[in-house]
């Protein structure tokens, strides 16, 4: 809700878009007590409340849809996970696998040096 002093030049305003329509009014403390202001304010409050309720309903619906789409970890195959990775995640997975294999190989080598075969 935007109020503009009556008589202000339009060039000083940002735009005249539909969602941003200023209300020209004589800006004084007495204006807040008038019936015209009360009607404008009540209409604005109804619109804001309605929009908030719709948004809340949409969020609740999307949360319920997400819950219904949740997968059980036992049903997911490794190939499905790997095919869904983006490039950065793919390289990270390759680096992690390389690190694990290197760690196992190093541990095996060190154990082989510590415990020689008979």
Q: What is the pLDDT of residue 106?
A: 95
Q: What is the pLDDT of residue 9?
A: 66
pTM: 0.41
The structure tokens listed for 26 are 């004589």
Name the DSSP letter for residue 12: G
Q: Domain check: are 7 and 65 in the same one?
A: yes
> Domain count of the chain?
2
pLDDT band at 8 (very low <50, low <70, confident <90, very high): confident
Residue range 15-51, pLDDT digits in tens: 555 556 677 777 888 888 888 888 888 988 998 899 8
Distance CA 51, CA 9 (A): 31
Q: Domain check: are 93 and 108 in the same one?
A: yes
Residue 37 to residues 17, 25, 99, Cα–Cα distance (Å):
22, 9, 69
The alpha helices in 23-86, defined as continuous H runs, are 35-69, 78-83
Pairing outcome for strands 3-5 and 23-25: parallel
Q: Domain check: are 9 and 65 in the same one?
A: yes
Domain span holding position 55: 3-69
């Amino acid at each position: 809700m935007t109020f503009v002093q009556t008589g202000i030049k339009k060039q000083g305003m940002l735009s005249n878009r539909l969602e941003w329509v200023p209300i020209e009014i004589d800006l004084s403390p007495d204006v807040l007590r008038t019936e015209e202001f009360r009607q404008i304010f009540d209409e604005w409050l109804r619109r804001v409340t309605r929009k908030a309720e719709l948004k809340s309903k949409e969020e609740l619906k999307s949360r319920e849809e997400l819950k219904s789409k949740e997968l059980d970890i036992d049903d997911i195959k490794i190939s499905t996970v790997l095919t869904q990775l983006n490039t950065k995640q793919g390289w990270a997975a390759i680096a992690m696998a390389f690190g694990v294999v290197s760690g196992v190989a190093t541990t095996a080598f060190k154990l082989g040096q510590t415990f020689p075969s008979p």
